[in-house]
Structure 1
Amino acid sequence: MTSDSPVAERRPARPAANPWAVLGIASLAAFMVFLDTQVLFVAFEDLRADFPDVSFATMSWTLSAYTIALAAALVPAGRLADRFGRRRTFLVGLVAFTLASALCAAATSPALLVAFRVLQALGAAALVPASLAIVLSVFPSEKVPAAVAIWGAIAALAAAVGPTAGGLLVDTWGWRSVFLINLPVGAAAFLLALRRVPESREATQTRFPDPLGIGLLAAALSLLALGIVQGNDWEWGSARTLGVLAGGLVVLAVFVVRSLGHPHPALDLSLFGGRSFRWANIATAAFTIGFTAMFFAQVLFLTQVWGYGIVKTGLVMAPGPLVVMVLAPSLGRLAGRVGQRALLVPGGLVYAASGLWMLAVMTTEPNWVGHLLPGALIGGLGVSLVIPHLTSAAVQGLPTDQFGAGSAVNQAIRQFGATFGVALTVALLGTVTPATALDHFHRVWWMLVICGVLTSLAALALPRKARAATPAAVPTLDPTPIGEAA
């Protein structure tokens, strides 16, 4: 096409997007989602106080419903992003998440809050994989580990400031304020994305994933989480508990069989044929269960056993995530040179060591400097060696057409882990009394040790250095603003 073509005059080429600016915008939106999760852990006790007649297990569904809905919706949302445009999906997710946050703040009952949390999860499901796919599409393959590590460090920043910010918000304005804080962040991210983020999509279009498969996956996760969360209330050996868990496993098996035989499955199980993708996601599941259990249990231990106020709890929880925030970028660059496995294997063992420390020294007498702080710093080092590198290990070798779907699967598995991390924490703690508190929390800390070791074992199966993304399919870049799209 010549330079005097009328099409060229109507749509002049834009300069290439600045990858680091795009990373900053994508990370801002991801920060909002990750912050929301962290601050709600801190707000959980205040939320329970507003509804004193509702049981602990029932109230935990304000956490679990979100992670289940997010996990079930991430994969189809990732496919939507690849097919219809990652920027477009990102913006839609931003709007949905921000509006749902306002509805959560206005909820007048636990049932309404759970329902609005599900809507919020659907917005996050569109936003998170699209933001990561956008980052992957603008960086060369050799810089992907560092870029994804920085993107992951934003989660650590959210974990660092979340407890303190959440504690201050809850202490001043109550639990509803933790949702209202999303409104200005969401608006800023939306306006920046409109101006600076380029559009990209898959080069070869395929059909939308199987809707029935999506429903089966959501049903299986819901039944399994329900059985684990309610196990103490219903009794673990009761017909109701065993029936719900068995039903979840049966539905999950039906989902797998259907996915294997469907031309456009809800979850493309062939992705797991790749060695790096398969083992990185197994490690993701193991580590996220332990990480979520640690975070949730630590809030409960500090408030219920040591008697800390919510603001003090937030402050004393900050050092561990701050370690991750500081170390993640440099460790991401190191992973780009030596491969993710070299960091993941020792990282899981370091994280397990943090659980062993807690088992060895923690008592019911408050001692933050001598007991909790060293364990938090060891755990922070373990997390910085693991979490930022799991996603890059999983997606780096995928064809570019599958960036959205692959990152969505990894984030979905992370949410599966978070769901069961919360559910298992509720189950392991049961009804905590002053006399039994330490024994009950020992169960959770042993789970951290097991999850850390399992992470290292899974990481041993990774290639020594992840291969670059398959260059056969180059993502289609479309600089056209949404308002100008045909």
Structure 2
Amino acid sequence: MAFLDFTVVNIAFPDILRDFENTPLDTLTWVVSGYAVMFAALLAPAGRIADSIGRRTVLLCSLGLFTLASLICGLAPTIGLLIAGRFLQGAAAGGMIPAALGLILATTPRERIPRAVATWSAAAGFSAVIGPAVGGLLVRVLDWRWVFFVNLPVGAALLAGGLAVLPGQVRVAGARWPDPLGSIALGLGIAGIVSALTKGDHWGWADIRTLGLGLAGLLLIGAAVLRSRAHGAPAIDLAVWRSRTYRIACLGLAMFSANMFAWNLAAPLFATTIWDWTILETGGALCIGAVGSMAGSLSAGRLRTRAAQVRVAIAAALLFAVSNAIWASNLFGSTPNFWTGWLPAAILGGVGLGLGFTCLSTLAAGAVEPLKFAGGLGMTVAARQVGGAVGVAGFAAIMLSSAEPGSLSSFHYVFIAALAVNIVCALVVAALIRN
């Protein structure tokens, strides 16, 4: 639900724009970016809170809030209420993710953690990539409000199931509530950076709002780090970041996310504007990458050793690089080319994403103490979201700086940039071979 709602609204945005036609575009874009900002901002603090008061409590409360927020969004009569509902949805999603993953990994035998992370990554990757297809179907058959209403029965069923079968509280023995000031500074800092990256293409990269938010975000994160060095219950567990494996895995995840988010914007836009595919045709084609991602994740879950996970993560980055090379080639010209263009690129890219996310997430999990999974992995997912914001900003910057934004060549520039990032990602992850 959390990752699906991150991308599902993108395809419904034109219909929302028509319903609120008198609203400035800069205001309407907060329907998308408001969710992203709150999601990224609360992942790390929510993880530490889940470790201290109990992951089951945080998961179920966040799930209930997410379902309520979905109802608010679906019924919203004004753009202000819709945006407020999206902020609330994003905040709830930020609480669900670290609590759920921490609960899974803390109750999974150590030797089965790769399988658990694989299943998790398969669901997360599939839902993020399939979002535009689901959104397109709901918008065309029903109405954009059903993008939100569909969460209500799912949320109710998950709440009932969670109350019935989830294990008792899993928390760190003797853990204290994390430093409130440090947690607020960390959350606001991440929110500032993600806001600047997300809105920079609308406001302008030299605009005082963009620069101010970005600088304020960096300063607030710096303040949170300084407080965490001396505080008894720090907002950031700096011990986790001392692990070289954890740092490199987080950087690799951020790079994979940057490419995935850019692709999630570029691929459907390319199909609908350059190849003139319908929304449903585009959604069906996007499913190929989603299935490939799931297959890659489940395959990576079978890897038993750290060395194998590192090697496969490197191969995954190169697979995604090959996929982007195909997108940037003449196989993706002005004439639709499904069989020798879209199909192989989607399979290679999807499998690469699934393998990469799973292997790097498993490596990060292996560097975190089991009783600190929620806090440690909350920071991991936050790194992914910041990377995703960089990908969205990079996509917008490259498109707008092209001689003809939205032209075939402008899309090719995006995929060439993604190819370069994938190669750098492979080199970064290769540093783990020496560990």
Considering the TM-score relative to the shorter chain, is it more than 0.5?
yes
By how many angstroms is 1:394 displaced?
Answer: 0.4
By how many angstroms is 1:311 displaced?
Answer: 1.6
The one of 321, 335, 345 equivalent to 1:375 is: 345
Equivalence map 1:105-124=2 (5 Å): 105-124=74-93
By how many angstroms is 1:53 displaced?
Answer: 4.7
Q: Are 1:147 and 2:116 an aligned pair?
A: yes
Equivalence map 1:348-359=2 (5 Å): 348-359=317-328
1:397 corresponds in structure 2 to: 367
Identical pairs, percent: 35
- Once residues 316 and 187 of structure 2 are traced to their aligned partners in structure 1, the CA distance between those partners, rounded to angstroms, is 31
Helix, strand or coil for the counterpart of 1:373?
helix
- Once residues 459 and 137 of structure 1 are traced to their aligned partners in structure 2, the CA distance between those partners, rounded to angstroms, is 26
The one of 156, 170, 177 equivalent to 1:187 is: 156
Equivalence map 1:402-481=2 (5 Å): 402-430=372-400, 436-462=406-432
Helix, strand or coil for the counterpart of 1:340?
helix
Moved more, 47-56 or 431-440: 431-440
The one of 246, 264, 267 equivalent to 1:298 is: 267
By how many angstroms is 1:57 displaced?
Answer: 5.2
The one of 227, 234, 255 equivalent to 1:258 is: 227
Q: Is the 8 A contact 2:51 2:371 kept in 1?
A: yes
Q: Is the 8 A contact 1:291 1:448 kept in 2?
A: no
- Once residues 193 and 117 of structure 1 are traced to their aligned partners in structure 2, the CA distance between those partners, rounded to angstroms, is 24
By how many angstroms is 1:464 displaced?
Answer: 7.7
Equivalence map 1:117-266=2 (5 Å): 117-159=86-128, 161-237=130-206, 241-266=210-235
Q: Given the superposition, is the C-alpha separation of residues 178 and 464 from structure 1 closer, same or farther in structure 2, using an over 3 Å criterion? A: farther
By how many angstroms is 1:181 displaced?
Answer: 0.8
1:4 corresponds in structure 2 to: none
2:20 corresponds in structure 1 to: 51
Q: Is the 8 A contact 1:271 1:277 kept in 2?
A: yes
Amino acid at match of 2:63: L
The one of 332, 335, 354 equivalent to 1:365 is: 335
- Once residues 431 and 172 of structure 1 are traced to their aligned partners in structure 2, the CA distance between those partners, rounded to angstroms, is 36
Residues 340-389 of structure 1, C-alpha deviation per residue, up to 9 Å, x if partnerless? 21210111111112111111122233322232222111101211220122
- Once residues 374 and 344 of structure 2 are traced to their aligned partners in structure 1, the CA distance between those partners, rounded to angstroms, is 38
Residues 93-151 of structure 1, C-alpha deviation per residue, up to 9 Å, x if partnerless? 11111111111112234433222111112221221111111211222111100111011
1:313 corresponds in structure 2 to: 282
- Once residues 123 and 250 of structure 1 are traced to their aligned partners in structure 2, the CA distance between those partners, rounded to angstroms, is 25
Q: Is the 8 A contact 2:6 2:35 kept in 1?
A: no
The one of 289, 300, 304 equivalent to 1:331 is: 300
Helix, strand or coil for the counterpart of 2:348?
helix
Aligned residue pairs: how many?
A: 434
- Once residues 187 and 418 of structure 2 are traced to their aligned partners in structure 1, the CA distance between those partners, rounded to angstroms, is 26
Q: Is the 8 A contact 2:55 2:171 kept in 1?
A: no
Q: Is the 8 A contact 2:296 2:353 kept in 1?
A: no
By how many angstroms is 1:204 displaced?
Answer: 2.4
Q: Given the superposition, is the C-alpha separation of residues 301 and 403 from structure 1 closer, same or farther in structure 2, using an over 3 Å criterion? A: same
Q: Given the superposition, is the C-alpha separation of residues 245 and 72 from structure 1 closer, same or farther in structure 2, using an over 3 Å criterion? A: closer
Moved more, 312-321 or 156-165: 156-165
1:25 corresponds in structure 2 to: none
Q: Given the superposition, is the C-alpha separation of residues 243 and 134 from structure 1 closer, same or farther in structure 2, using an over 3 Å criterion? A: closer
Q: Is the 8 A contact 2:106 2:371 kept in 1?
A: no
Q: Given the superposition, is the C-alpha separation of residues 52 and 305 from structure 1 closer, same or farther in structure 2, using an over 3 Å criterion? A: farther
1:279 corresponds in structure 2 to: 248
Amino acid at match of 1:183: L
Q: Given the superposition, is the C-alpha separation of residues 245 and 46 from structure 1 closer, same or farther in structure 2, using an over 3 Å criterion? A: same
TM-score (norm 1): 0.82
Amino acid at match of 1:177: W
Moved more, 326-335 or 138-147: 326-335
Q: Which runs of 5+ in 2 are unaligned?
A: none
Q: Which runs of 5+ in 1 are unaligned?
A: 1-31, 466-486
1:69 corresponds in structure 2 to: 38
1:269 corresponds in structure 2 to: 238
- Once residues 463 and 186 of structure 1 are traced to their aligned partners in structure 2, the CA distance between those partners, rounded to angstroms, is 42
Q: Given the superposition, is the C-alpha separation of residues 241 and 133 from structure 1 closer, same or farther in structure 2, using an over 3 Å criterion? A: closer
- Once residues 6 and 202 of structure 2 are traced to their aligned partners in structure 1, the CA distance between those partners, rounded to angstroms, is 25
By how many angstroms is 1:306 displaced?
Answer: 2.6
- Once residues 397 and 333 of structure 1 are traced to their aligned partners in structure 2, the CA distance between those partners, rounded to angstroms, is 19
- Once residues 113 and 236 of structure 1 are traced to their aligned partners in structure 2, the CA distance between those partners, rounded to angstroms, is 27
| TM-align CA RMSD | 2.6
Q: Is the 8 A contact 2:51 2:175 kept in 1?
A: no
Amino acid at match of 2:5: D
By how many angstroms is 1:161 displaced?
Answer: 4.2
- Once residues 36 and 441 of structure 1 are traced to their aligned partners in structure 2, the CA distance between those partners, rounded to angstroms, is 25
Q: Is the 8 A contact 1:364 1:438 kept in 2?
A: yes
- Once residues 202 and 297 of structure 2 are traced to their aligned partners in structure 1, the CA distance between those partners, rounded to angstroms, is 41
Moved more, 398-407 or 261-270: 261-270
1:90 corresponds in structure 2 to: 59
TM-score (norm 2): 0.91
By how many angstroms is 1:272 displaced?
Answer: 0.8
- Once residues 99 and 327 of structure 1 are traced to their aligned partners in structure 2, the CA distance between those partners, rounded to angstroms, is 34
By how many angstroms is 1:242 displaced?
Answer: 4.1
- Once residues 333 and 374 of structure 1 are traced to their aligned partners in structure 2, the CA distance between those partners, rounded to angstroms, is 24
Q: Is the 8 A contact 2:310 2:433 kept in 1?
A: yes
Q: Given the superposition, is the C-alpha separation of residues 200 and 293 from structure 1 closer, same or farther in structure 2, using an over 3 Å criterion? A: same
Q: Given the superposition, is the C-alpha separation of residues 191 and 174 from structure 1 closer, same or farther in structure 2, using an over 3 Å criterion? A: same
Amino acid at match of 2:122: A
